[in-house]
Amino acid sequence: MTVGAVSEASAAERLRIAGNFPLEHTATGAMKIFKEELEKQTNGEVVADLFPAMQLGGAQENVDQVRSGTIFAVFTSIAYFTRTVPELDAVNLPFLFSSRDVAFKVMDGQVGRTFDAKLAEKGFENLGYMELGFRHVTNNVRPLKTIDDFQGLKIRLQPSETHIASFRAVGANPTAMDIKEVYSALQQGVLDGQENPYNIIATRRFDEVQAHLSDSGHFFDFINVVANKRKFDKLKPEWQQAIRDAMAKAVAWQRKTAADQDLERRDELVKRGMTFTPISLETRQALREATKDIVNQVRDRVGGTIVDDVLESVKAAEAG
């Protein structure tokens, strides 16, 4: 490399971006696309330095690092932002979304723009929403055939009050835990189970420490890519636009790929030895009934307006 090339590289604007997803997860793949596209659009003037797979700590640590400005951005589940922006829990309601299409129609509309504004008030610049997916319960105790089978199960959940309340309502014993601690907690028997989309269960190898797999689909979860707003606002306008354009391409790829891989990941888990027990319509209805009051709890905690906006947006999306 020539002296000039070294000088040019050192002069580039470098953006440190962290994530907690494994290297083979679609979110990590999407960020590689973002990096390539951003550097191409800016002729290398802006470089994205990616730190996936918890290289810079756990999910909550990464969110805190972005808020303080230690790093530029993070890509992780929106659950890790609910402590700062509790309104996000309005889309964490149990059995809220009937399909991923409905979920993204809601998030790509006014609801998402409201969340973006709430995040901005707390010093965050939201750059896009990707798919984490429908979450499913795994455990080491028994197959989940009826609602009674959830009773007393020590289940790990994300740090969302809505998630925790939902599992208490069905009789489980939930506990919030950062994803970086889950595998060892399952391995040591501190937990009976956990809940995640098939892609996370597979890429984090939870099948190695879990026997039973369900298709509970109790929440649909989003990944959001969030930057430090102060740092983002200081960038040249053309660089800001390049970041948004590159992220739009990455998000589109990730959503499609995640949807395509979803059931493939489930089949992969079964082939690895997990016992898959589908949730019956009767049991699913019992779970819905047990958690029906969660919406009122969230309304009381985060405000009725945002919850009602979400519910109305869901209804409109389902209507076409």
The tens-digit pLDDT sequence of the chain (320 residues) is: 344 444 444 579 999 999 999 999 999 999 999 999 999 999 999 999 999 999 999 999 999 999 999 999 999 999 999 999 999 999 999 999 999 999 999 999 999 999 999 999 999 999 999 999 999 999 999 999 999 999 999 999 999 999 999 999 999 999 999 999 999 999 999 999 999 999 999 999 999 999 999 999 999 999 999 999 999 999 999 999 999 999 999 999 999 999 999 999 999 999 999 999 999 999 999 999 999 999 999 999 999 999 999 999 999 999 98
* CA angle centred on 129, ends 125 and 130, rounded to 5°: 140
CA distances from 258 to 30, 186, 251 (A): 10, 25, 10
Q: Which pLDDT score is estimated for 3?
A: 40
Helix (H, G, I), strand (E, B), or coil: what is residue 72?
coil
Q: Which pLDDT score is estimated for 8?
A: 47
Q: Which pLDDT score is estimated for 10?
A: 58
CA distances from 75 to 45, 195, 320 (A): 22, 19, 30
Catalogue all structural domains in the chain, each as residue range(s) with its CATH number: 3-132+222-261 (3.40.190.170), 136-219+267-319 (3.40.190.170)
